[in-house]
Amino acid sequence: MCRILVVKSDKEFEISRHLERFAALCRRSKEYQGHGWGLAVPDGGRWKVYKSLAPVWEQKMRGFGRSRLLMVHARSAFRNENINLEYNMPFDSGRLAFAFNGELRGVRIGGRGVSGAEKIFHFVKRLGDTGLPRPLKSGGDIIAERTAYVRAMNMVSCDMSKIAVYSRFSEDEEYFSMRIKRENGTFLLCSEKYPDDEESCWERVPNHSYLEA
C-alpha cells in the first residue's frame, strides 16, 4: 500500500530535505512504492501540486523550495493497475489537500472519481466545509460501516493550517500504523519512521483513532 508524509512547521524548511528521507523509506519499503508520487504545498491560499509517474527515489530533489507545510504521497498501485497521473495523490480542492492509503473490500459509498481513493475524497468532502478537515472522522466511520472488510484505511487531510488523520486497520499493524514525530516546532506524520531515526523518536497513531494537529 502507498506511503504518506505530512510536515508542518513553525518555520520554513527545505522541502528537499524531507523528500530525500521520504524517498529513502519508500525505496526500502517491503511493498513496491514506485508507481508514481506527488506533493502539495500551500501557494497563495490554494495548493500547488506536483505529480510524477517516476518512482520518488528517482526524482531530482532540488528546486522545490521552502514551505511551512508539505504533503507527499508515493503510490503502490493495487495489482499494478492504472499507472497514470489521474490516480496519483495528493488530491486537492480549494483549501483542502487529501491523501489515502489502505485497502477496502466491498465498499458501498457514492462519490465521483476515477479511483476508489478519489471517490473517498469526494465522499468525505460532502460531509462538511471543504476548508476543514473535521469531516474526516465522520466520513471514516461511515465508510467503515459500509465496507465489508477494512484491511486498512489511513486518510490524511490538510486545510493550510490544520492536519487531520484517521487511522483504522485490521491486520499488519507494523506496516499500516501511521507515525508521529514532534521536534523543535515541527510536526511530522509519516507511514514509517525516517530511515536514519531511532524508532523511539516516533510514536504510533493508535488503531481506530482520529487526531488533529
- Domains of the chain plus CATH, in order, are 3-212 (3.60.20.10)
| Set of cell numbers at residue 30 | 517491503
- pLDDT score of 95: 84
Q: At what angle do helices 116-125 and 135-145 cross, to 10 degrees?
A: 130
Cβ atoms within 10 A of the Cβ of 199, count?
9
Burial of 38 (0-12, 13-18, 19+ CB in 10 A): buried
- Quick check: bond before 90 cis, omega within 30? yes
> pLDDT band at 62, cuts 50/70/90?
confident
- pLDDT score of 84: 84
For the ranges 125-129, 130-134, 202-206, the lowest mean pLDDT is seen at 130-134
- pLDDT score of 19: 97
- Start-to-end Cα distance in the chain: 24
pTM of the model: 0.94
